[in-house]
Amino acid sequence: MGTLDGRRIVLGVTGGIAAYKAVEVCRRLVDAGAHVSPILTNAAQRFIGKATFDALASEKVQTSLWDEESPIPHTLLGQNADLIVVCPATARLLADYRMGRSADLLTATLLATRAPVVICPAMHTEMWEQPAVQENVTVLAQRGVEIVGPEKGRLAGGDSGEGRLADPVNILATVERLLGEQAPQKDLTGLQILVTAGGTREPICPVRYLGNRSSGKQGHAIAAQAVARGAQVICVTTQADQAPQHPQITVQAVDTAAQMTSAVFEAAPQSSIVIMAAAVADFTPVSVAEQKIKKSTGTTEILLQPTVDILATLGAQRTAGQVLVGFAAETNDLVENAAKKLAAKGVDLMVANDVAADQVGFGHDTNAVVILSATGSSEEVPLASKTEIANAVLDAALKTLHQNSKN
Ligand code: CTP
């Protein structure tokens, strides 16, 4: 039994020198049991011949929107695919796909699918580092496209740097993760999950605000994973431009603690799980100056008043069965402080986050947490990507939801 038995995979190959490595990827996919339909762009065929893929792939190799018996090969390929992997992906492919441009059979197929898409960019370091290319990759990743690589190493022409196609082993591992036995279970299907993300900004005057260092990455990772596991997500965020984009995510942009309070109070009653990953300001200026406060004012006092504690309010008036999850940002006595917050706010789970430690919390792509439960249990999740932390939090929330429904 192969790990990808019977899975239908479209392998898109674009015109870069790394196209020859797509042959290895094709062979590995076929060995894992997948039905592989290669699509070669015109430029790809300048680097590698159709005959090579014909000999290796289980399905017909296609190269054009026009020379097939079927007048609409892209819709057939797109609709029937369980996954599309583009390997290598040139800067042009990234730009076309980001813009939704249907330039040839491969880009048309990418537009005509609902299947997961894996993109493996490969190009010279200078091209890879271009802001335009980076922006295209960021936007595609936000839309849920899986980006693998590039890696650092030797490039064409004897150069060396970032831009080399990811190792075929890593590409296969990603495909297996998305499709194979380790594919995310759709265990949150039918649930509405409310997630907050980012740090609120409390205006002092038209140009200044009181803020905090939260980047929104952890909350956004939770939203993305919840959707990957089948949930319907409302993401209330101060970093809406960075939020994951997906038909099952409603992104609600907010700025201040008061705006976040209204948005959360409106969505919470219909949500089975509420995860407050946002760093909400505890204080807000009593009044906002109508005009910019001039330097000539000298020493200035800004009077602050407490904001509504959103989580504690939800804890006091929660809908039956609902699971409430808080994040405790601490710089000392992590577990002790988080346990106090868990009890004080009346929540089910508190994710304790040492924001002063290395590689952890604000702005980083990694995190390390302890998940405390109102039942007294605690689970330590050591340094891991924010995606993995997101799944650990969702696992704990789902377990609690099942327990709450039994009580
Ligand atoms: N929180 C909230 N509303 C607020 C402040 C915080 O809902 N006005 C939520 C946060 O989203 C987080 C949890 O409460 O899930 C804990 O936030 P944190 O800032 O760690 O704790 P505070 O209650 O603000 O306490 P302190 O700042 O004194 O540590």
| Pairing verdict, β 151-154 and 146-147 | unpaired
Q: What confidence score (pLDDT) does residue 69 get?
A: 67
- Is residue 358 domain-shared with residue 264, that is, in the same domain? yes
Distance (Å, whole) CA 174 – CA 350: 31
Gap from CA of 278 to ligand 1 centroid (Å): 8
Gap from CA of 40 to ligand 1 centroid (Å): 53
Q: Is residue 1 part of a domain?
A: no
Q: Is residue 387 part of a domain?
A: yes
pLDDT at position 255 over 70: yes
pLDDT at position 10 over 90: yes
Report which of 16, 167, 162, 19 is spatially closest to residue 91, judged by C-alpha positions: 16
Mean pLDDT in residue range 280-300: 95
- Is residue 55 domain-shared with residue 102, that is, in the same domain? yes
- Is residue 14 domain-shared with residue 78, that is, in the same domain? yes
Gap from CA of 353 to ligand 1 centroid (Å): 12
Mean pLDDT in residue range 162-178: 91
Query: Residue 80: which pLDDT band, with cuts at 50, 70 and 90?
Result: confident
pLDDT at position 267 over 70: yes
Of the spans 2-11, 13-22, 358-367, which averages the highest pLDDT?
13-22
Quick: pLDDT tens for 37-59. 999 999 999 999 999 999 999 88
In DSSP notation, 227-289 reads HHTT-EEEEEES-GGGS---TTEEEEE--SHHHHHHHHHHHGGG-SEEEE-SB--SEEESS--
| Pairing verdict, β 283-285 and 304-306 | antiparallel
Mean pLDDT in residue range 56-69: 83
Ligand 1: residue whose CA is nearest its atom 17: 328
Cβ 310 under 6 angstroms from ligand 1: yes
- Is residue 161 domain-shared with residue 51, that is, in the same domain? yes
Q: What confidence score (pLDDT) does residue 1 get?
A: 63
pLDDT at position 213 over 70: yes
- Is residue 20 domain-shared with residue 73, that is, in the same domain? yes
Distance (Å, whole) CA 368 – CA 382: 5
pLDDT at position 5 over 70: yes
Ligand 1: residue whose CA is nearest its atom 16: 328
- Is residue 47 domain-shared with residue 80, that is, in the same domain? yes
Cβ 326 under 6 angstroms from ligand 1: yes
Q: What confidence score (pLDDT) does residue 377 get?
A: 95
Q: What confidence score (pLDDT) does residue 13 get?
A: 98
pLDDT at position 310 over 90: yes
Distance (Å, whole) CA 403 – CA 407: 7
Known catalytic membership, residue 404? no
Among residues 136, 153, 179, the one where a domain terminates is 179
Gap from CA of 321 to ligand 1 centroid (Å): 22
CA distances from 90 to 11, 119, 249, 270, 387 (A): 14, 10, 29, 44, 26
Q: Name every residue whose Cβ is closer than 8 Å to that of residue 271 and which is 6 or more positions away in sequence.
A: 192, 193, 194, 234, 322
Atom of ligand 1 nearest to the CA of 327: 15
Q: Is residue 3 part of a domain?
A: no
- Is residue 374 domain-shared with residue 273, that is, in the same domain? yes
Q: What confidence score (pLDDT) does residue 76 get?
A: 80
Which tokens is 119 given? 């993109």
- Is residue 108 domain-shared with residue 216, that is, in the same domain? no
**Cβ-count burial of 369 within 10 angstroms (0-12 exposed, 13-18 middle, 19+ buried)?**
buried
- Determine what percent of the chain is predicted with pLDDT higher than 70: 97
Q: Is residue 187 part of a domain?
A: no
Ligand 1: residue whose CA is nearest its atom 21: 328
Question: Which is more confident, 71 or 254?
Answer: 254
The CATH number covering residue 69 comes to 3.40.50.1950
Report which of 67, 62, 58 is spatially closest to residue 50, judged by C-alpha positions: 62
The CATH number covering residue 396 comes to 3.40.50.10300
Q: Is residue 184 part of a domain?
A: no
Among residues 179, 204, 226, the one where a domain terminates is 179
Q: What confidence score (pLDDT) does residue 68 get?
A: 60
Quick: pLDDT tens for 87-145. 999 999 999 999 999 989 999 999 999 899 999 999 999 999 999 999 999 999 988 89
The residue segments making up the domain with residue 171 are 8-179
The number of domains in the chain is 2
Cβ 198 under 6 angstroms from ligand 1: no
Question: Which is more confident, 153 or 224?
Answer: 224
Q: Is residue 186 part of a domain?
A: no
Q: Is residue 215 part of a domain?
A: yes
Q: What confidence score (pLDDT) does residue 117 get?
A: 96
- Is residue 174 domain-shared with residue 202, that is, in the same domain? no
Cβ 355 under 6 angstroms from ligand 1: no
- Is residue 201 domain-shared with residue 311, that is, in the same domain? yes
pLDDT at position 71 over 70: no
Amino acid identity, position 91: A
Q: What confidence score (pLDDT) does residue 183 get?
A: 65
- Is residue 231 domain-shared with residue 374, that is, in the same domain? yes
Q: What confidence score (pLDDT) does residue 320 get?
A: 85
Helix (H) or strand (E) holding 387, with range, is: helix 386-406
Query: Across the chain, what does the average pLDDT equal?
Result: 92
Among residues 179, 212, 244, the one where a domain terminates is 179
- Give me the catalytic one of 212, 353, 367, 391: 212
- Is residue 227 domain-shared with residue 295, that is, in the same domain? yes
Quick: pLDDT tens for 362-389. 778 888 999 999 999 999 998 888 888 9
Mean pLDDT in residue range 233-260: 94
**Terminus-to-terminus CA distance in the chain, angstroms?**
42
